[in-house]
Amino acid sequence: MNRQPHVAVVGATGAVGIEMIRTLEKRNFPASKLTLLASARSVGKRLKFRGQDVEVKELKKDSFKGIDLALFSAGGSISREYAPLAAKDGCVVVDNSSAFRMDEAVPLVVPEINGADVKRHRGIIANPNCTTAITLMALYPLHQAFNCLRIFASSYQAVSGTGAKAILELERQVDQIVKGQAVTREVYPHQIAFNVLPHVDSFLPTGYTKEEMKMENEGRKIMHHPGFRASVTCVRVPVYRAHSVAVSAEFQKPVTVEAALAALKKAPGLDVIDDPAKCEYPLPLYQAEKYNCAVGRIRKDCAMDNGLCFWVAGDQLLKGAALNAVQIAEELLK
């Protein structure tokens, strides 16, 4: 990889694309040039990078000639079509969609956990599901210390996980309710304002959703832990930004709260916020726009042997998407 790579962002005008551009700038990523790619309808839009206006160009099959690194966040079908073309042109792709995550030939990486896996890439590296990434930031240090067997978890997922249109839907519905107007919906099958939907992604024949199974499938791959099991209920909540997850984890080794806190306090990319007496615990409102995830409410699980309960929250546009992608790019340069 060129030490000062020419970088492209694919899906540059979407919620995650915009965060990718901001994150590259904030972290002083040594990009020699930035190319912004999107669908035809976004062509000509201008986005700021390092004080300059960068014009969005149309994504085409030959867009990647001369580009060293491409961060993709334009959905699975775009990734499936264009990522292999980019790789063929010698560009390394960091893909934010689910298209390649479970592909044996593609590393699935959270740099704080399995950063060394980037070395195995053949042109494409996958970014994990946002809820999985945020959960593993707290679970993996505990797994290292006590060997996690399985988890039971419920997620509290912000609407921005669905995209920019969902943020507008929540804003609009709150406004409609306050004004006593009829609530309209386009993005979700039910009203999301003042409601929660136990439905994230599409349902599988088992009754779980695809999102719920990502925790187990992707968790196994990222933690190099093929026996890991996860039973998850994913819930969409009327929060704009940052996902939270309530986790009950069972370990092979005996676990204490003190030992768990010691492991978590040493973990990179994770803040411990855990003082219930002062009402201090991670909140999505305060994790929004922060790079680190936060963990709290750490206690022994009273329904499982060698069990711990904890609550973890993180900005899913950042650690769940854009930040993690840029961190992978930083690993590539090491």
What is the per-residue DSSP string for 67-103? -SEEEE-S-HHHHHHHHHHHHHTTPEEEE-SSSSTT-
6: left (phi over 0), alpha (psi -120 to 50) or beta: beta
Contact 50, 27 (CB under 8 A): no
Please tell us whether the domain made up of 6-128+321-333 is placed in CATH 3.40.50.720.
Answer: yes
Q: Please give the structure tokens belonging to residue 110.
A: 């959270």
Q: What is the pTM of this model?
A: 0.96
Say what the pLDDT of residue 1 is. Answer: 85
The whole-angstrom separation of Cα 54 and Cα 57 is 9
Which residues are catalytically annotated?
130, 243
Same topology, domains 6-128+321-333 and 132-316? Answer is: no
Q: What sign does the CA torsion over 78, 67, 289, 264 have?
A: positive
The whole-angstrom separation of Cα 118 and Cα 110 is 10
Helix (H, G, I), strand (E, B) or coil at 311: strand
The whole-angstrom separation of Cα 11 and Cα 9 is 6
Say what the pLDDT of residue 203 is. Answer: 98
Say what the pLDDT of residue 163 is. Answer: 86
The series of mean pLDDT values per 10 residues for the chain, 334 residues long, is 95 94 98 97 96 97 97 96 97 97 98 98 98 98 98 97 92 98 98 98 98 98 98 98 98 98 98 98 98 98 97 97 98 96
CATH number of this structure's domain 132-316: 3.30.360.10
Q: Please give the structure tokens belonging to residue 13.
A: 């005008």
Say what the pLDDT of residue 158 is. Answer: 98
What is the per-residue DSSP string for 176-208? HHHTTPPP--SSSSS--TT--BS--SPBPTTS-
Contact 140, 263 (CB under 8 A): no
The whole-angstrom separation of Cα 232 and Cα 179 is 36
Q: Please give the structure tokens belonging to residue 22.
A: 């901001």
Q: What sign does the CA torsion over 68, 74, 75, 76 have?
A: negative
The domain ranges of the chain are 6-128+321-333, 132-316
The whole-angstrom separation of Cα 251 and Cα 36 is 45
Spatial neighbors of 218 by CB under 8 A, at least 6 apart, are 101, 102, 108, 128, 129, 132
Say what the pLDDT of residue 139 is. Answer: 98
Give the CA-trace dihedral at 197, 202, 204, 208, to 10 degrees: -30
Contact 222, 109 (CB under 8 A): yes
